[in-house]
Amino acid sequence: MKHLAPIFMCLYILVLNSTSFESSASEAVDKVYHPYVLPFEREFEWRFSSRKNDDGNALLQRIAYGQAISEYVTVEGYFVGERDKEDNFGLHSYEIETRWMLSDQGEYWADWGALFELEKGHEKDSWEFTTGILAEKEFGRTSLTVNFLVSQSWGSDSDKTLQGDFRLKYRYRWIPEIQPAIEIYSKHEFLGIGPAFMGISRFEGQRQLKWELGFIAGLNGKSTDHTLRFALEMEF
């Protein structure tokens, strides 16, 4: 399966060239995915994002458990909670996510992976399927990670749109515990950029704790549009 990376990339470029995208920026800032999978990994994850703009403040949280089912594939399930503009917080949706490491680290000029995600709205006829390519390239002590994603939604409570999503992280691997970065998020109606930090604390065996913190400012013309994001991930 690792030799399929160039094929997946070609297919993705064909989709990009043949599709016009419509997109909402409500969840434009989330996470830049790395293409790697650890053999036999298991993990708990918590993600938090708070977006403030002229329309108010929206808060989103994700709680997940994931497990590798092979040395190249991991599956993760999410419960997603949301606080709307009226300050009501509740269960928003469910997600099942699969990441597939398409190449071994260092095998090609960049490391490749693929993402597949299915989301179902809570008590709504709303579905969304997301897929795309994940890539990472090291330059000395820095790393460039990019995500090219496409999402299709359907159902009577959905807007039934095809959405494109681009995410980028340029990271300086100073020490494992502190790695500063710049992140960029782009959708049809949103462009954001800002500083981020991540770190890894390793323990006995395969156990490790990862954290991420970012502050993304929207550049799409509104007087106030910024997102604070935070994530904790325990792998064991």
CATH number of 2-235: 2.40.160.40
pLDDT given at position 28: 77
Residues of the chain where predicted confidence (pLDDT) is lower than 50: 1-26
pLDDT given at position 146: 98
pLDDT given at position 39: 87
Whole-angstrom distance, CA of residue 35 vs CA of residue 106: 12
pLDDT given at position 85: 63
pTM as predicted:
0.86
pLDDT given at position 58: 85
Q: What is the pLDDT of residues 135-144, one digit of tens each?
A: 999 999 999 9
